[in-house]
């Protein structure tokens, strides 16, 4: 999940996409506290009632904004994974995309807010959130399997290693976006890189169990 999100320079053709882009830009520039239906309406030339027509509630607006943001990031992730470079290098690139840029990273700030608001969400909402997680998981599993098939990575239980890697990234990512002292982004990248070296490189210390 990368950092600053810039406002689109062109006017988006779909009203829903205009609102989502404006919501993400507001979070990036002013934080979640400044994100209101009225404020968004002023940004895109709609009434707050018109925005509610599209989204119903602020919780739904936030979840759809997160989905939209992940769609943009997903395109970058797919391009990264399609590069003709060794699998271990692409693993590093995937980790770099996943982790926040630092304190108050807008994508991660939104992610934390959506997850916090969804403690009492219905099953359909939880499934939509899970889909966001599984997109990363599937790509990570596929990369581990591909790397092993080419002899670049050790053959491991890819599902298990992917689950553990994402848990590690989520832990470090939460620490970074909250801004707790004692860990910076370079240290987080180094910790994850060491774990991957030990787990998936031939001759590494761990066995990926």
pLDDT band, very low/low/confident/very high, at 21 (cuts 50, 70, 90): very high
Q: What is the pLDDT of residues 37-80, one digit of tens each?
A: 999 999 999 998 889 888 999 999 999 999 999 999 999 999 99
Reduced 3-state DSSP string for the chain: CCCCCCCCCCCCCCHHHHHHHHHHHHHHHHCHHHCCHHHHHHHHCCCHHHHHHHHCCHHHHHHHHHHHHHHHHHHHHHHHHCCCCCHHHHHHHHHHHHCCCCCCCHHHHHHHHHHHHHHHCCHHHHHHHHHHHHHHHHHHHHHHHHHHHCCCCCCCCHHHHHHHHHHHHHHHHHHHHHCCCCCCHHHHHHHHHHHHHHHHCCCCCCCCC
- What's the whole-model pTM score? 0.87
Q: What is the pLDDT of residues 137-192, one digit of tens each?
A: 999 999 999 999 999 999 999 999 999 999 999 999 999 999 999 999 999 999 99
pLDDT band, very low/low/confident/very high, at 204 (cuts 50, 70, 90): confident
Question: Closest Cα partner for 78 from 13, 139, 151?
Answer: 139
Higher-pLDDT residue of 55, 4: 55
Q: What is the pLDDT of residues 70-120, one digit of tens each?
A: 999 999 999 999 999 999 999 999 999 999 999 999 999 999 999 999 888
The pLDDT score that the predictor gives to residue 206 is 55
The pLDDT score that the predictor gives to residue 4 is 41
The pLDDT score that the predictor gives to residue 205 is 62
* Contact between 172 and 188 (Cβ < 8 Å): yes
Say how many Å lie between the first and final Cα of the chain, rounded. Answer: 27
């Amino acid at each position: 999940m990368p950092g600053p999100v810039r406002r689109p320079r062109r006017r988006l053709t779909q009203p829903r996409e205009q609102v989502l882009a404006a919501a993400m830009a507001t979070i990036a520039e002013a934080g979640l506290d400044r994100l209101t239906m009225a404020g968004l309406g002023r940004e895109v030339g709609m009434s707050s009632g018109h925005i509610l027509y599209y989204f119903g509630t602020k919780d739904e607006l936030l979840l759809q904004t997160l989905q939209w943001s992940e769609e943009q990031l997903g395109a970058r992730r797919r391009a990264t994974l399609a590069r003709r470079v060794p699998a271990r290098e692409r693993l590093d690139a995937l980790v770099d995309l996943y982790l926040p840029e630092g304190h108050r990273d807008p994508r991660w700030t939104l992610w934390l807010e959506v997850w916090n608001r969804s403690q009492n969400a219905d099953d359909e909402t939880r499934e939509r959130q899970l889909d966001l997680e599984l997109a990363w998981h599937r790509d990570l599993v596929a990369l581990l399997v591909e790397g092993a098939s080419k002899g670049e990575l050790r053959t491991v239980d890819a599902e298990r290693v992917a689950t553990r890697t994402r848990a590690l990234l989520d832990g470090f990512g939460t620490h970074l976006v909250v801004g707790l002292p004692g860990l910076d982004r370079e240290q987080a990248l180094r910790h994850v890189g060491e774990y991957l070296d030990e787990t998936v490189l031939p001759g590494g210390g761990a066995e990926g169990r």
